[in-house]
């Protein structure tokens, strides 16, 4: 790995979509910072398997944690070119069960999905701007623009991330581009083993134009595309096999 290779920080990258993004960016020649708040052993294994990577444990929902994460990455590599905000959480709550989606659920989801994305981006922005070609990619969801999703608080959080993406793109150009990817159902260890997602997967396989459920690598490739799309900013790219057309 070249000493001047670009550096990418991928939050929430010890497993699932975040791990696939971290691995793909490593394949593309980036030095990668892997992050999680709890899965330390898994995160360390991902970092150890990449050509030039480091694992940093931090909870980006905590402002001090987000700032410490960015500082640790810059101290390790001397720069930061790419930030992928992949850390997120949800609760599976039927949309009609309003009482179950209480204030504590809202705070828990918004603290990480929205505020965590915001404060990590703010901490990273001076370093991204210093490169003159910095890039932020936020991981949203098709639930951010449709009446779908594992819960109403989750869907609302992703709608907020998408509008944040557009607002930031307008505010921080031309030094930094900001885009988002919006997957539909992606088959991870979690979704494959939760019965809530089984009928959704069947519906997607039968009705989506591409007739399959996505895999984490689909999202990773879309992120890689946005890094190359140097005249693209403020966009939300569906990674959904055409589910948004249904």
Q: Is residue 203 part of a domain?
A: no
Q: Is residue 194 part of a domain?
A: no
What does the pLDDT look like over 3-21, one tens digit per residue? 899 999 999 999 999 999 9
Give the torsion through C-alpha atoms of 30, 7, 18, 136, to 10 deg: -120
CATH number of the domain that residue 163 is part of? 3.40.50.720
Q: Is residue 196 part of a domain?
A: no
Query: Structure tokens of 37?
Result: 């708040």
Q: Is residue 209 part of a domain?
A: no
Task: Please tell me the distance from the alpha carbon of residue 61 to that of residue 75, in angstroms, as a whole number.
Answer: 21
What does the pLDDT look like over 93-103, one tens digit per residue? 999 999 999 99
Q: Which residues of the chain have pLDDT under 50?
A: none
Q: How many domains does the chain have?
A: 1
Residue 65: predicted pLDDT: 98
Catalytic-role residue among 55, 154, 203, 231: 154
**β-pairing, 82-85 with 53-57?**
unpaired
List the one residue out of 14, 10, 20, 13 whose CA is nearest residue 215: 20
Please name every residue paired with 208 in a beta bridge, in sequence order, or none if there are none.
none
Q: Is residue 225 part of a domain?
A: yes
Residue 97: predicted pLDDT: 98
Output the pTM of the full model.
0.96
Residue 207: predicted pLDDT: 97
Residue 127: predicted pLDDT: 98
Q: Is residue 198 part of a domain?
A: no
Output 123-127 pairs: Cβ under 8 A, ≥24 positions apart.
123/66, 123/67, 123/69, 123/70, 123/71, 124/9, 124/70, 124/80, 124/83, 125/172, 125/176, 127/70, 127/74, 127/79, 127/80
What does the pLDDT look like over 64-87, one tens digit per residue? 999 999 999 999 999 999 999 999
Residue range(s) defining the domain that contains residue 39? 7-186+215-240
Active site residue 154: yes
Q: Is residue 156 part of a domain?
A: yes
Q: Is residue 105 part of a domain?
A: yes
């Amino acid at each position: 790995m070249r000493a001047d290779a670009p550096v990418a920080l991928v939050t929430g990258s010890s497993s699932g979509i975040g791990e696939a993004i971290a691995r793909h960016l490593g394949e593309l020649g980036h030095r990668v910072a892997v992050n999680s708040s709890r899965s330390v052993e898994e995160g360390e294994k991902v970092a150890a398997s990449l050509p030039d990577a480091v694992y940093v444990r931090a909870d980006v929902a905590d402002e001090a944690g987000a700032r410490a994460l960015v500082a640790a990455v810059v101290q390790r590599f001397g720069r930061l070119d790419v930030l992928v905000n992949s850390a997120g959480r949800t609760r599976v709550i039927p949309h009609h069960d309003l009482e179950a989606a209480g204030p504590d659920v809202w705070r828990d989801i918004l603290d990480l999905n929205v505020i965590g994305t915001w404060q990590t981006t703010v901490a990273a922005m001076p370093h991204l701007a210093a490169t003159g070609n910095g890039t932020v990619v936020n991981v949203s969801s098709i639930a951010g623009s449709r009446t779908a999703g594992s819960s109403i608080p989750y869907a609302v959080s992703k709608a907020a991330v998408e509008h944040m993406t557009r607002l930031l793109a307008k505010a921080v150009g031309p030094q930094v581009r900001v885009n988002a990817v919006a997957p539909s159902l992606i088959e991870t260890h979690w979704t494959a083993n939760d019965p809530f997602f089984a009928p959704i997967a069947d519906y997607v396989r039968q009705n989506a134009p591409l007739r399959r459920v996505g895999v984490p690598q689909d999202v990773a490739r879309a992120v890689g595309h946005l890094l190359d799309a140097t005249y693209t900013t403020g966009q939300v790219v569906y990674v959904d096999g055409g589910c948004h057309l249904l």
